[in-house]
Chain A
Amino acid sequence: MLGRAAYKVKGGKLIKVQLTSEGKKIKNIKITGDFFLHPEEVIDDIEQTLEGRLLDEQELSRLIRAVLTSKKAVSLGVRPEDFARCIMMAGEKNE
């Protein structure tokens, strides 16, 4: 089953998530949108980190924040909790 969601951050940018899940776990995930993330390649690290993880909003947000910190990356127009919110929306549609 495939889940999709789009989430517009108030005063910010648009995030789109497409994912497949098994039970409550993320199997594959693709994050797209018109946001900014520097360096850009960190989006691949975020997606890889999230694969196999539980659909738990706080935990997803924490994991994404940890990737940004470890890669010295910054986002503009979106925050880790916004990505997490959109992922949960896509996960819920998947059930």
Chain B
Amino acid sequence: MSEKWRLLDTGLNDAFYNMALDEAIVIARSKNLVPNTIRFFRWSPSAVSIGYFQSMEEEVDIKACDEMGIDYIRRRTGGGAVYHDTEGELTYSIIVDENHRLISRDFQETYRTLCSGLVLGLRQLGVPAEFKPINDIVARGKKISGNAQTRGMSIVHQHGTILRKVDPALMFKVLKVPSEKIRDKLIRSVEERVTSINDVLGRDVSFRELKDALIKGFEDSFGIKLMPGSITDFEEDLAQRLKVEKYASRKWNFRR
């Protein structure tokens, strides 16, 4: 009997609910109300998330986002700014007890272990994925996934993005560029450094196919069985509260 974890697929939600639900699951896990969990989710409307330590004004073109109806939010994890396109990317979260056998005291080691589930899943699809320290997954030398981790309440929380298709020009419409002069250069540099599943495989990979491959990757790599489940009332209520009180608040999003 392999160890059972909960699998959640929460579909399309706005940025504020998405980040609030992640924290709600962490809190529920810390109170032992729910099992270790892997969650898939997407962002509607598309959104930009910034790392815990980043400055919203410095990283995000707020005016452009407002005009395009794109949300912007601060994450509870460090790392860089990410554009979460509704159709272009899949996001996942792993919420696991800190004392679990997969978790090392060393953050770098834990990134490698948790990312190995994604690497294996991507390889199942035919993407030659490799973990690249500190927190990236690359294919043919180009970034295809970025990941971020935090700990607290004796829980490890890692979330990250997997690019299905990528549009560097749109990325730099929502992210601040140091000057208009170098916008084209930055776009070209992203084209050289970033790739996507559709680019690598030369075909349109559906979210269903991607998720199925990642599920298999996580199960085989972690030695677990993912049991499709749903969020508890505790998590839903807490997520709604965290959304209003924290993640949708100006105080949180513009704190740095």
Interface size range on B against A: 20 to 34
CA distance A37 to B152 in the complex (A): 12
List A30-61 residues whose CB lies under 8 Å from chain B.
Answer: 30-40, 43
List B211-236 residues whose CB lies under 8 Å from chain A.
Answer: none
Interface size range on A against B: 10 to 19
Q: Is the interface of A mostly helix, strand, loop or mixed?
A: strand
Q: Mark A22-34, 1 if CB is under 8 A from B, else 0.
A: 0000000011111
Please, which residue of chain B has its CB at the minimum distance from the CB of A14?
A: B80
CA distance A43 to B58 in the complex (A): 18
Contact, CB under 8 Å: B256 / A77? no
Contact, CB under 8 Å: A12 / B134? yes
Q: Does A65 contact B (CB under 8 A)?
A: no
Q: Mark A6-25, 1 if CB is under 8 A from B, else 0.
A: 00000011101000000000
Among A16, A35, A40, A76, which residue has its beta carbon within 8 angstroms of that of B108? Answer: A76
Contact, CB under 8 Å: B134 / A34? no
Query: Which residues on the A side are within 8 Å of B151 (C-beta)?
Result: 38-39
CA distance A12 to B134 in the complex (A): 8
CA distance A76 to B76 in the complex (A): 16
6 contacts between A and B (CB under 8 A): A33-B53, A33-B54, A36-B79, A36-B134, A37-B53, A43-B53
